Amino acid sequence: MKSVYDEVYARSMQDPQGFWAAAAEDIYWEKRWDRVFDDSRKPFYRWFTGGVLNTCYNALDLHVDRGRGKQRALVYDSPVTDTVKAFTYSELRDAVARVAGALRRQGIGRGDRVIIYMPMVPEAVMAMLACARIGAIHSVVFGGFASNELAKRIDDAKPKLVLSASCGIEVNRVIPYKPLLDGAIELSAHKPERCVILQRPQETAPLATGRDLDWNDFMAGAPPAECVPVAATDPLYILYTSGTTGVPKGVVRDNGGHAVALKWSMGGIYGVGAGETYWAASDIGWVVGHSYIVYAPLLKGCTSILYEGKPVGTPDPGAFWRLISQHGVNVLFTAPTAFRAIKKEDPQGTYMKKYDLACFRTLFLAGERCDPDTLHWAEEKIGVPVIDHWWQTETGWPIGANCVGLGTLPVKAGSPTKAVPGYDVRVLSEENKDLPAGQIGSIAIKLPLPPGCLPTLWNNDAGYETSYLTKHPGHYLTGDAGYKDEQSYLYIMSRVDDIINVAGHRLSTGAMEEVLASHPDVAECAVIGVADEIKGEVPVGFVVTKAGVARSEAAIAKELVEKVREQIGPVAAFKTAIVVKRLPKTRSGKILRGTMKRIADGQEYTIPATIDDPAILGEITEALQGKGYAKTG
């Protein structure tokens, strides 16, 4: 018997134009589109050409106009400043209209770029929506990003204005932003005309005369601005992908397709309706924050949570449960690394029992591969469905998911379930042939991509083609490796670069990580391929143990080696498991496997701009040297 998902997915494949035209009826258009789908300039496909709308109007004013202005739109919860503040749709619309008026007073208009380099504060969300309101293009750069990386983005986007703050606040430290911003402007060839600085009480930043403006002065007496209608194909924002070298890749998001896809996804994928409370525990500097803190929940008419804190340490591993209980969160979306941190600090789920979680019905995980052990731990402790799903900065919304709004399919641990309606996902060989079920290959999406995905890179059509469309002609290259099973469930095993070749056998480091993560003492892990003279590459595993584990590292390592041999086989040649205190990660929680591999191979490496704590790399180097790796010279 066919499920609702099967029927909806089939419709999206057989009649994509009809499918997305129907979804677009849920958006308010100033002028309807001339063409749902425009393929006149292949491979630069466009959706809803000729259509005119305003994203901010659809996210705020529409709900106020329809009588729901008193509903909470945004709840700001900041344990690091001991602040909780809610904004209704009316209040948020009025605040955004004033920020938009202040931007317009500084000469910002349709098509102008504004860089937003701010912490997780309501003004950052208001700034994004204010840009959308007047047709300006925002580019959010993660607060605290290094000067040289920020400079690259300033030179690429060429903003007229930068909106920033005096500081960001971590668990136990204040990070001054102004010296980083000043350093970036000094390094950049393009000089923004104006910088606006939100002064936070924890750190006051000195202002450069003639260039810098205090946020309060910027806002004083600013008239509210009305929504400016823009073309569906006009850019809404630019978001630079992390870890880029040379010219950064500026992912462009358009207004029309983005609004249609994101609003559809809230009901179709997340099963959330207007008036419900949705929390994406991420940062606005990442795509998850753009799509699922700011735009999608507000387009749908939900209450969205803006959290300035961590899963542990602000103040304890019960932080997430406190928020869910206090704010009535129905659906939470976060990264598996957040749950691994909670599991490590509170393996028994003791803190969870202190809070009433009756309102909470679904947990979504994405951002990196979710190991089955973490998924099962969350299922067992919370007692709600735990949905692993998969997508990218470039797509802006999920590619593979268990679409709760279309009737939940059986969960298979280690799989983000099936392709989301709109995405024709293929597993391809090096020769661009479809691979049979169970065989690992390169995961690609048959063109055209659905609405909401990147139409190109900012001022770099050639880079878009070479980065994404050349490897598999007629397809978008995800850069991920994996397979489909007999039921078309997807398994994303690793980045294509993380498939290692051990004596001629292509093996997934992700599969080995799954085995390590299932060990009862292991909180989190990473496996990398290290150069080997005889076998080409051999796997090396790193594990962090759970809090309170007192067994010897040698005993744990021995068990892990045996476990991999038993579950994957001697062919894996897995002989080295190293217990470390922590793993190097980006601020968004992704493990820096590529950097670890370069250290192990004794190659030069640059410290990634997104790294959470550079000191960890020294610890990893020492651990590898103790096992005879990381030799230099």
Q: What is the per-residue pLDDT for 614? A: 87
Cis peptide before 43 (omega within 30 of 0): yes
Verify that 525 and 434 share a domain, yes or no.
no
Verify that 189 and 258 share a domain, yes or no.
yes
Verify that 472 and 591 share a domain, yes or no.
no
Tell me, letter by letter, the H, E, C secondary structure of 502-563.
ECCEEEEHHHHHHHHHCCCCEEEEEEEEEEECCCEEEEEEEEEECCCCCCCHHHHHHHHHHH
375: closest CA among 390, 361, 358, 387?
Answer: 387
Structure confidence by residue, pLDDT tens digits, 582-631:
999 887 778 888 889 889 998 888 888 778 788 899 999 999 998 888 87
Q: What is the per-residue pLDDT for 497? A: 63
Verify that 476 and 540 share a domain, yes or no.
no
Share of the chain above pLDDT 90, in %: 78
Q: What mean pLDDT do residues 223-248 have?
A: 86
Contact, 565 vs 574, CB < 8 A? yes
- The sign one gets for the Cα dihedral 24, 27, 32, 33 is negative
Q: What is the per-residue pLDDT for 181? A: 97
Contact, 157 vs 139, CB < 8 A? yes
Instruction: Pick left, alpha or beta for residue 513 (phi over 0 → left; psi -120 to 50 → alpha; otherwise beta).
Output: alpha
- The helix (run of H) or strand (run of E) holding residue 304 is strand 303-307
Contact, 114 vs 127, CB < 8 A? yes
Instruction: Specify the CATH number for the domain of residue 593.
Output: 3.30.300.30
Tokens 């744990």 -> residue: 556
Q: Is the pLDDT of residue 573 over 90?
A: no
Q: 23-51 b/e with 16+ CB inside 10 Å = b?
A: bbeebebeeebeebbbeeeebebbbbbbb
Q: Is the pLDDT of residue 418 over 80?
A: yes
Structure confidence by residue, pLDDT tens digits, 378-411:
999 999 999 999 999 999 999 999 999 999 999 9
Q: What is the per-residue pLDDT for 244? A: 40
Q: Which residue has the higher pLDDT, 502 or 330?
A: 330
Verify that 419 and 274 share a domain, yes or no.
yes
Q: Is the pLDDT of residue 486 over 60?
A: yes
Instruction: Pick left, alpha or beta for residue 452 (phi over 0 → left; psi -120 to 50 → alpha; otherwise beta).
Output: left
CA 326 to chain centre: 25
Q: Is the pLDDT of residue 507 over 90?
A: no
Asked if residue 347 is part of any domain, the answer here is: no
DSSP for residue 290: I
Q: Which of 13-17, 169-173, 309-313 has the lowest mean pLDDT?
A: 169-173
Answer with the one of 482, 516, 547 that is the final residue of a domain. 482
Q: What is the per-residue pLDDT for 609? A: 76
Q: What is the per-residue pLDDT for 243? A: 41
Structure confidence by residue, pLDDT tens digits, 265-303:
999 999 999 999 999 999 999 899 999 999 999 999 999
- The helix (run of H) or strand (run of E) holding residue 475 is strand 475-484
Asked if residue 573 is part of any domain, the answer here is: yes
Residue 1 binned pLDDT confidence (cut-offs 50, 70, 90): low
Contact, 59 vs 298, CB < 8 A? yes
Verify that 413 and 542 share a domain, yes or no.
no
Q: What mean pLDDT do residues 94-99 have?
A: 98
Q: What mean pLDDT do residues 126-136 have?
A: 98
Q: Is the pLDDT of residue 446 over 80?
A: yes
Residue 238 pairs in a beta bridge with: 252
Verify that 422 and 473 share a domain, yes or no.
yes
Q: Is the pLDDT of residue 199 over 70?
A: yes
Asked if residue 87 is part of any domain, the answer here is: yes
Q: What is the per-residue pLDDT for 166? A: 98
Amino acid type, 571: V
Tell me, letter by letter, the H, E, C secondary structure of 203-263.
ECCCCCCCCEEEHHHHHCCCCCCCCCCEECCCEEEEEECCCCCCCCCEEEEECHHHHHHHH
Residue 175 pairs in a beta bridge with: 168
Structure confidence by residue, pLDDT tens digits, 317-368:
999 999 999 999 999 999 888 898 899 899 999 999 999 999 999 999 998 7
Contact, 236 vs 55, CB < 8 A? yes
Q: Count CB atoms within 10 A of the CB of residue 78.
A: 19
Verify that 292 and 441 share a domain, yes or no.
yes
What value, to the nearest 5°, has the Cα angle with vertex 614 and ends 609 and 620?
125
* CB within 8 Å of 601: residues ≥ 6 apart: 530, 531, 629
pTM above 0.95, yes or no: no
Asked if residue 633 is part of any domain, the answer here is: no
Q: Is the pLDDT of residue 577 over 60?
A: yes
Asked if residue 323 is part of any domain, the answer here is: no
58: closest CA among 334, 263, 271, 244?
Answer: 263
Verify that 37 and 167 share a domain, yes or no.
yes
Verify that 150 and 260 share a domain, yes or no.
yes
Q: What is the per-residue pLDDT for 44? A: 97
Total structural domains within the chain: 2
Verify that 471 and 567 share a domain, yes or no.
no
Q: What mean pLDDT do residues 131-151 have?
A: 91
Answer with the one of 447, 482, 517 that is the final residue of a domain. 482
Half-sphere exposure of 157 (CA within 13 A, CB side): 33
Instruction: Specify the CATH number for the domain of residue 261.
Output: 3.40.50.12780
Share of the chain above pLDDT 70, in %: 97
- The helix (run of H) or strand (run of E) holding residue 402 is none
Q: Is the pLDDT of residue 533 over 90?
A: no
Asked if residue 489 is part of any domain, the answer here is: no
- The sign one gets for the Cα dihedral 335, 339, 342, 344 is negative
Asked if residue 165 is part of any domain, the answer here is: yes
Asked if residue 53 is part of any domain, the answer here is: yes
Verify that 511 and 399 share a domain, yes or no.
no
Q: What mean pLDDT do residues 525-542 have?
A: 87
**First-to-final CA distance of the chain:** 63
Q: Which of 1-5, 71-75, 471-475 has the lowest mean pLDDT?
A: 1-5
Cis peptide before 347 (omega within 30 of 0): no
What domain range is 428 assigned to? 4-309+389-482
Q: Count CB atoms within 10 A of the CB of residue 358.
A: 9
Tokens 């996902």 -> residue: 425
- Computed over every residue of the chain, the mean pLDDT equals 93
